[in-house]
Amino acid sequence: MTVASRGPAPATYPVPHGAEQGGVVSRVTLQTIADRVGVSRMTVSNAFSRPDQLSAEMRRTILAAAADLGYVGPDPSARALARGTTGAVGVLLTESLGTAFLDPIAAAFFGAVAEELAPTGMAVVLLPSTSSEGMIPARDIPMDGALVYGCAGDYPAVDWLVRRRLPLVFVDGEPVAEASSVLLDERHGARLGAQHLLDLGHRRIGILTMNSTEPPGWAPDPAAAGSGFVARERQIGWVETLEAGGVTPVVMEVHDNAEPFVSQGARAILDGPERPSAVLCFSDLMAAAVVHAAEELGLRVPEDLSVVGFDDSPLARRLRPALTTVHQDFAAKGKAAAAALTSSIARFRAGEAPAPEEHRILVDLVVRDSTAPPRPA
């Protein structure tokens, strides 16, 4: 096995002799090394953390002793306490982490965030929104700041983060005061989709979306929670534009992103008495479900039915027919979020007052093959 040669500690690792005493391995700390070399603990600390504070030779001696003792580096937890920073930032999602990863939008966003954060050396901690046996990650995990992705502000975990006074950035969700936010121009995107259909001549238009308000008695579904803000914004854009064009859409809301619910919604919207000639969808996933349902009913897309998605997920291009959809730039979103967060953290460390930034990510309509003029009645 090849051993890494980068990093301070030489590469003779699984053999920490010298640390054992009477069979018990007492833990090696800075003090152990200091005693061995005959310097103060502080000098050893500097050897690892501030190389400019000691002579190169002394540093070499110390690192050699450390390697010999099997010392890897300053204990991260102790360092975090002493320094007041952990080197990790949290990402909170409303959806269960399991489903979040299956969502290519979210995945692409994470990717961009991680990518942007990597050069700063910060790691990303995924915060389960669930808590258990007294452990509440949003409250108990050490971190320097957090990204709140698509969560409503009244979510318990968000609340903990806010109370901790951590630097926060809200993404795709309603921000709380004093925090930065990164939002899509949802309304504009929705308007573009709606206008596109109007321009093509459609007059009977359906909308398939997430529930924007919780029906009374509806327990907030973890998988759907948080989409409320986005759903509302999009709906405003759609309805605004359609009504300006003299069209009153048929709105169908589903409460859960999962396959069966979405399919059912898709079927429902096509099965109504006055079948729409076009459907605006909350997501590409829903659009795909609509296309599928149309197929089952013997309708051809786009000849018999036009379908507009949202997000321009990878799925949109792969679908047949390729989906007309509202494109959002995931990479830009992730980058903006990561940048806003690092700057918030920097401010916070410098003791400066928070300076909430508000980033708005541009969207545009990508016209592909799933939309066409309606078939003349």
Partner DNA sequence: GATCTCTTCTGTACCGATAAAGTAACCCAG
Partner DNA sequence: CTGGGTTACTTTATCGGTACAGAAGAGATC
For the segment 133-152, give every residue that binds its own copies (CB under 8 A): 133-137, 139-143
Examine residue 291 and tell whether it contacts its own copies (CB under 8 A): no
Q: Is 97 exposed, middle or buried (0-12, 13-18, 19+ CB in 10 A)?
A: middle
Examine residue 367 and tell whether it contacts its own copies (CB under 8 A): no
Query: Of 69, 75, 275, 322, which one interacts with DNA (CB under 7 A)?
Result: 75
Specify whether the backbone of 87 is left (phi greater than 0), alpha (psi in -120 to 50) or beta: left
Examine residue 297 and tell whether it contacts its own copies (CB under 8 A): no
Taking CB under 7 A as the binding criterion, the range among 67-75, 93-101, 181-189, 264-272 that sits at the site for DNA is: 67-75
Alpha carbons 12 and 177: distance in angstroms, whole number = 52
Examine residue 188 and tell whether it contacts DNA (CB under 7 A): no
Residue 12 main-chain phi, psi, to 5 deg: -105, 70
Taking CB under 7 A as the binding criterion, the range among 27-35, 180-188, 235-243, 353-361 that sits at the site for DNA is: 27-35
Residues in region 205-244 near DNA by CB under 7 A = none
Examine residue 254 and tell whether it contacts its own copies (CB under 8 A): no
Residue 132 interacts, among DNA, its own copies, none and using kind-specific CB cut-offs from 5 to 8 Å, with: its own copies
Q: Smallest Cα–Cα separation from 270: which of 298, 246, 230?
A: 298
Examine residue 96 and tell whether it contacts DNA (CB under 7 A): no
Could you tell me if 74 and 49 are in contact, meaning their C-beta atoms sit under 8 angstroms apart? yes
Examine residue 58 and tell whether it contacts its own copies (CB under 8 A): no
Beta bridge partners of 135: 132
Query: Of 1, 22, 24, 50, which one interacts with DNA (CB under 7 A)?
Result: 50
Examine residue 360 and tell whether it contacts DNA (CB under 7 A): no
Alpha carbons 331 and 328: distance in angstroms, whole number = 9
- Amino acid at position 192, single letter: L
Alpha carbons 128 and 149: distance in angstroms, whole number = 12
Could you tell me if 321 and 370 are in contact, meaning their C-beta atoms sit under 8 angstroms apart? yes
Cβ-based nearer residue to DNA, 58 or 331: 58
Examine residue 82 and tell whether it contacts DNA (CB under 7 A): yes
Query: Of 12, 49, 130, 213, which one interacts with DNA (CB under 7 A)?
Result: 49
Examine residue 17 and tell whether it contacts DNA (CB under 7 A): no
Alpha carbons 158 and 149: distance in angstroms, whole number = 10
